[in-house]
Structure 1
Amino acid sequence: MRFTVVLRTPARAAEPLFAQAPKAWQRMLPYIVVGVFVVSLLPTTIAVLTDDYKAGGGWAGALGVAQTVPLLLAVTRPLPAWVLILVADTVGAMVLASADNVAGHPWPWTPMSIVGYLLLMVCLGLRESVRTLVGVWLVTGAVGVALGFYELEVTTTAALLFVLSGAFLAVTGALRGIGDAQQRIAEQESISEAERARRTLLEERARIARELHDVVAHHMSVITVQADSAPYRLPGMPEPVQEEFAAIAASARESLGEMRRLLTVLRSDRANGGNGGNGTSGGGGVLAPQPGIGRIQQLVEATVRAGQPVELSLAAGAAQAAPPAVDLSAYRIVQEALANVVRHAPGAGTRVSVTHDAEEVLVLVVNGPAARDAVEALESSGTGHGLVGMRERVRLTGGTLDTGPLPDGGFRVAARLPLNDPTDDPPDEPPDEPTNDPTEDAS
């Protein structure tokens, strides 16, 4: 038997002793022990009170039941059982004081009541707090002292029960305390192991992010250099083409700068500003503000320059009304939705709408089918990671997300983001079902 598992404080008030033991026979052990004691003590108590103390048959039977049957309650509720048995033992002592043959016999506690009382002390010691155990012990002694005012020629057992009950309470209470301490140590070790696993996972994610930055940053840098140098390498380039290359270079530089800022946060020891919130990270890099609703217009303009027809309806004051989490989530949702349109439905007419009221911000991105004369879609199938990312962002703000294909072959993304912090955890959402719609994100 592992006492670190068995001898610990039950988690709930009515939980039986050893209820959290790993094996069934260990959980049944308290019932078996108490049952054996009750079956043995009940007839013995009645016989001794009748034959030795010469108590009446009715009194002997009543006292035998009252002093032994409540022990069955001690497995789950030892404190109420102690109150019942102490009252029964006290009444029994007063009844035996006037019995015909009490002289020379143990009193006020009979040998049977002492045995049952000590079993009760074991149950109490394995269950109750130290303060409760001390109170039980002192009350036991006080009752014995009070009964000692009876002037009888008996063998007094008040001091004996007082000493034995204290010893049983001390030993079982100490065992229970050791079991609790070992259980807390095991739980702390489990928490530490989980924290180590989490730290390892975060470190691995940071390493992957740095490697991803190294790969993507190289290609983005090449794109920037090629776009910037195109007018010099290809003289005589028309003005619209030069503007297109300039827009490509600007987008590449912006993406590269944002990736470097994210990498700075990953590499810094503190992501909330290393010098008292002065806007610099622990690594010395400057942390730019996160994008929000106010930058959606720039995002749409960049998409239009890429050849994607987009209409924008942006409510005035939406950026000021939204808290930071909602502000960032709205921007990222529009960004991801437009990226999906460019990848899966090039040339499709797209409408972006951002409105708000006193309670929420509504983000709506709707696109039609890909234009017939457009170039071939960059991606024809997707894994849904982008939609999962949208759901996670909406979930963090306590909002809702509705996505799905339209009858005309287009796609719809609608997000409701509450302006007030959610007081309860958002309800669980059903897992994303696989879809064959070509407009689902593959990034």
Structure 2
Amino acid sequence: MNVHSHSAAHTPMAVVKGVRNAVLSPPGGPHRLLLPRPLWLRIPIGLILLAMTIGFTGGTIAIPLNVYKSEPTASAAWFLGLAQVLPLLFAPRWPLMAWRISALGFLAGVPVMDGRYFWPWPVTAWLAFMLMLFMVGVGCERQTTIGVGVVTIAGVIVPGALGSMPGWFGLILAGLVIMALAFGDAIGGRSAAEQSLREQEALRRQDLARAAVLEERARIARELHDVVAHHMSVIAMQAEAAPYKIPDLPDAARQTFGVVRDAARDALTETRRVVGLLRSDDEGAERAPQPGLNLLEELLAGARRSGLSVELAIVGVPREVSAGVDLSAYRIVQESLSNASRYAPGSRVLVEIRYARDALQVTITDDGARTTPDDSQGGGHGLVGMHERVTMLGGVLTAATHEGGGWQVAAELPYGED
């Protein structure tokens, strides 16, 4: 994996390790191809790199042939040209291996070209070598990059400067090597940082989604606790009052009512204890009964006051539904109207409650924003909550745009009866 660490990579021991990595470490490639990710950029850049490799190789071979003319050593130009430049082809994937092969070719070219040219390498070969050094800086760790620079200067440029190449020109070449590696390291470090930021952002989104699910499940549990607590209290009170309402009640029945009463109280106590853990420190138990479809008109009136034009359609014969279905249907309508007010201000909204044979069908449809939504509202996790409620009841939820250009939420909540 490509790592650009800002630790103390310039200590003598670190430089020694970098040189060892540059020369002896397995030439594994970076975690990705050193080309742009989009295919429409990767293909043309790859073709350009291929064309440059062909051109640089041809120039690296032609220049020595022109210098040597018909001398027997002219045949070495073919070998040196291929060794010095051809590794550029696979440098985007294995930059360290490409540099090693090319550096050996440059070192071999010193005794062959020394004294016959201003410097012992063709300029085309050096241009290709600079590209390979740049890719080493992009794809390798900083410690290895420093080692590559040290080996290149000490093992390639210094031997050339010991011959006929002027020392001042060797210093220029050493500066170019450092610049190519430093530029590549900077580009690689930025790429690694951006990749890390993308990964962190993806993890953050996953954590937020997971937290939203847990928060909504806790909220649902608290609400259902209040519903169940009401019914358990009724059971306990009825069991307590039965012996007084029914004269001459047999002792066995009286004991049975006592068992029912005690069991209801114990269950209520345990439920309160467990669900109490889900309440925040500043959140007390609900005092008002949980809402249901009987309060739907009040909810729609509040939505109209917020600027929506809301219509209600009830299809089928209304029937009594379980507390969980009743509460979930109300919450789905409430959240959908809240989303419509936030993201589609001024829209026309149709709320349809359909009493089907096996399930309660709730559909909320808006026709799109009439005015520009307020960007400061931000996004919530309303769909997460609706999905959790419907899943809890074994139903189905769909939320998507529709042909009219607005948004539609449709939930099917099974009655849960045999």
TM-score by length of 2: 0.57
Give the one of 165, 168, 177 matched to 2:189.
177
Q: Counterpart amino acid of 1:255?
A: A
Displacement of 1:57 after TM fit?
A: 2.8
CA distance in 2, matches of 1:134, 1:30: 27
Q: Tell me whether 1:216 sits opposite 2:241 in the alignment.
A: no
Give the one of 103, 107, 110 matched to 1:93.
110
Residue 120 of structure 2 is matched in structure 1 by 108
Contact 1:217–1:256 under 8 Å retained in 2: yes
Q: Tell me whether 1:191 sits opposite 2:206 in the alignment.
A: no
Contact 2:119–2:160 under 8 Å retained in 1: no
Matches within 5 A, 1:274-313: none
Residue 176 of structure 2 is matched in structure 1 by 164
Matches within 5 A, 1:58-73: 58-73=75-90
Matches within 5 A, 1:3-14: 13=29
Give the one of 52, 55, 58 matched to 1:37.
52
1:157 to 1:86, Cα distance in 2 relative to 1, 3 A? farther
Contact 1:144–1:158 under 8 Å retained in 2: no
Matches within 5 A, 1:12-31: 13=29, 17-18=33-34, 21=37, 23-31=38-46
Matches within 5 A, 1:391-410: none
How many residue pairs match? The answer is 266
1:124 to 1:117, Cα distance in 2 relative to 1, 3 A? same
1:267 is paired with a residue whose SS is coil
Residue 366 of structure 1 is matched in structure 2 by none
CA distance in 2, matches of 1:231, 1:60: 112
Q: Counterpart amino acid of 1:62?
A: F
CA distance in 2, matches of 1:149, 1:168: 20
Contact 2:95–2:136 under 8 Å retained in 1: yes
Displacement of 1:25 after TM fit?
A: 2.5
Q: Equivalent pairs: percent with the same residue?
A: 33
Q: Deviations over 1:243-290 (max 9, x none)?
A: 111121122112212211111111156xxxxxxxxxxxx9999xxxxx
Displacement of 1:197 after TM fit?
A: 2.4
Displacement of 1:148 after TM fit?
A: 4.5
Displacement of 1:74 after TM fit?
A: 0.5
CA distance in 2, matches of 1:69, 1:62: 10
CA distance in 1, matches of 2:122, 2:170: 10
TM-score by length of 1: 0.54
CA distance in 2, matches of 1:20, 1:244: 77
Bigger shift: residues 183-192 or 32-41:
183-192
CA distance in 2, matches of 1:216, 1:145: 83
Q: Counterpart amino acid of 2:179?
A: A
Q: Tell me whether 1:232 sits opposite 2:248 in the alignment.
A: no
Displacement of 1:182 after TM fit?
A: 2.1
Contact 1:66–1:88 under 8 Å retained in 2: yes
Matches within 5 A, 1:351-390: none
- Structure showing the higher helix proportion among its residues: 2
Q: Counterpart amino acid of 1:85?
A: S
Contact 1:228–1:246 under 8 Å retained in 2: yes
Residue 377 of structure 2 is matched in structure 1 by none
2:164 is paired with a residue whose SS is coil
Contact 1:118–1:168 under 8 Å retained in 2: yes
Q: Counterpart amino acid of 1:42?
A: T
Displacement of 1:203 after TM fit?
A: 2.0
Gap runs ≥5 in structure 2: 5-27, 286-357, 360-390, 393-415
Displacement of 1:124 after TM fit?
A: 1.2
Q: Which has the higher contact order (CA 8 A, sep 6+)?
A: 2
CA distance in 1, matches of 2:253, 2:273: 30
Contact 2:3–2:140 under 8 Å retained in 1: no
Give the one of 170, 195, 200 matched to 2:212.
200
1:16 to 1:184, Cα distance in 2 relative to 1, 3 A? closer
Q: Deviations over 1:368-399 (max 9, x none)?
A: xxxxxxxxxxxxx99xxxxx99xxxxxxxxxx
Q: Deviations over 1:103-149 (max 9, x none)?
A: 4x332333122111101012112211111111111111102454156
1:203 is paired with a residue whose SS is helix
CA distance in 1, matches of 2:226, 2:247: 32
Q: Counterpart amino acid of 1:31?
A: G
1:134 to 1:51, Cα distance in 2 relative to 1, 3 A? same
Displacement of 1:153 after TM fit?
A: 6.7
Residue 400 of structure 1 is matched in structure 2 by none
Contact 1:108–1:147 under 8 Å retained in 2: no
Q: Counterpart amino acid of 1:142?
A: A
CA distance in 1, matches of 2:224, 2:272: 11
Contact 1:109–1:158 under 8 Å retained in 2: no
2:277 is paired with a residue whose SS is helix
CA distance in 2, matches of 1:153, 1:231: 115
1:156 to 1:88, Cα distance in 2 relative to 1, 3 A? farther
CA distance in 1, matches of 2:217, 2:284: 22
1:138 to 1:29, Cα distance in 2 relative to 1, 3 A? farther
2:56 is paired with a residue whose SS is helix
CA distance in 1, matches of 2:130, 2:153: 14
Q: Tell me whether 1:74 sits opposite 2:86 in the alignment.
A: no
CA distance in 2, matches of 1:131, 1:92: 28
Q: Tell me whether 1:126 sits opposite 2:138 in the alignment.
A: yes
Contact 2:232–2:268 under 8 Å retained in 1: yes
1:60 is paired with a residue whose SS is helix
Q: Counterpart amino acid of 1:32?
A: L
CA distance in 1, matches of 2:143, 2:248: 94
2:278 is paired with a residue whose SS is helix
Runs of 4 or more consecutive aligned structure 1 residues displaced over 3 Å after TM superposition: 12-16, 148-151, 153-157, 282-285
* Aligned-pair Cα RMSD in Å: 3.3
Q: Counterpart amino acid of 1:247?
A: V
Displacement of 1:212 after TM fit?
A: 0.8
2:252 is paired with a residue whose SS is helix
1:89 to 1:173, Cα distance in 2 relative to 1, 3 A? same
1:14 to 1:198, Cα distance in 2 relative to 1, 3 A? closer
